[in-house]
Amino acid sequence: MRKIITAVVAAGALLATSAVSAQTPSFFRIVSGSAGGNYFPMAGLLANAISNPPGSRPCDKGGSCGVPGLIAIGQSANGSVANVNAIQSGAAESGLAQSDVAYWAYTGTGVFEGKAPLTKLRAIATLYPEHIHVVLPKKSNLKTFSDMKGKRIGVGLPASGAQVGALLILNAAGLEKNKDFTAEELNTSQSAERLADGQLDAFLTVTGAPSSGIAQLASTAGLQLMSIPKSIQDMVIKKAPFYFGSPIPASAYEGVSTDTATLAVAAQWLVSADQSEELVYGITKALWNKNTRKLLDRGHAKGKDVQTSSALDAIGIPLHPGAERFYKEAGLLK
């Protein structure tokens, strides 16, 4: 896995005060995705929400409502597959991943068939839906997936959930990687740039709508979104039941006038089973603190979709005991 770049130190610089020296800070990593997607900024928001560095003002006095002494760090990474492996190996305490990737990794099935199950994976919460985007140039003549034969298609980075989703769709349409089309392994921003420059004929990615990288493409070069026919949707759902039909609303991207039929999967926050119950209880409590609601609503376009009403949707792996304890106390889990 490529070098992980620290993107956000949510707590900021530590203040040199006697209060700081009296308490030893602890660090907590949240691995995410590449720039241009939603995982990267979402990890930063979550890091801010759960951090409470030594010397911070108390929550009830306008200060941080995170876990006392915790400094959370959002880090960019390759995405879902890389993230679950990082959690299992101890290279990260937590990370974001698609619900299908989380389930397959934990059970050693699907794209993880033949590999040792990643049994240290535990769930904190489902965050928001992620849509499969099939993005075309504004003046593209491609109308169906069959038209993609022989074309240059962006499919997401290696070890990313985006590539897993892209290949599920393309395979269901009868298209095999580097046999029926030339696969370009790029992140969302790179794919958008190459599409605008004429170096790609299309790209597929799995990300929450709107995605900043795709939105920028829409407002500059323009784009089209291709709908996924129901026959292909049904084939994908049969193979990967964590996907569900969910349209991308026309309002998501400039220049798109109608809803786009597609599939979605849940973005989830996962954590290692090695993390203590007390710590994860505090993290889950901070996630759903009323002050975090303000941070999520104002901090990112997908933040409003992060709700307690869907926190336990599509959870296919065990909850961490700390998260489970919170949900039971909150009356969200019996």
- What's the average model confidence in pLDDT over 194-199? 96
CA 178 vs. chain centroid, Å, equals 26
> How many Å apart are CA 292 and CA 286, to the nearest integer?
7
- What's the average model confidence in pLDDT over 290-316? 91
CA 61 vs. chain centroid, Å, equals 32
> How many Å apart are CA 157 and CA 276, to the nearest integer?
32
> How many Å apart are CA 322 and CA 232, to the nearest integer?
39
pLDDT in tens, 229-271: 999 999 999 888 888 999 999 999 999 999 999 999 999 999 9
- What's the average model confidence in pLDDT over 149-177? 94
Is the dihedral angle over the CA atoms 60, 40, 212, 100 positive or is it negative?
negative
pLDDT in tens, 37-82: 789 999 999 999 999 998 888 887 777 889 999 999 999 998 899 9
pLDDT in tens, 110-131: 889 999 999 999 999 999 999 9
Q: Where in the chain are the domains?
A: 5-128+267-329, 130-265
Assess contact for 232 and 173: CB atoms under 8 A. yes
Give the lowest-confidence range in 12-21, 44-53, 81-90: 12-21
130-265: CATH, from 3.20.20.70, 3.40.190.10, 3.40.50.620, 3.40.50.300 = 3.40.190.10
> What is the residue type of 260?
T
Tell me if domain 5-128+267-329 and domain 130-265 are identical in fold: yes
pLDDT at 15 over 70: no
What would the two tokens of residue 267 be? Answer: 């973005």
> How many Å apart are CA 189 and CA 213, to the nearest integer?
5
**CATH code at 5-128+267-329:** 3.40.190.10
pLDDT at 13 over 80: no
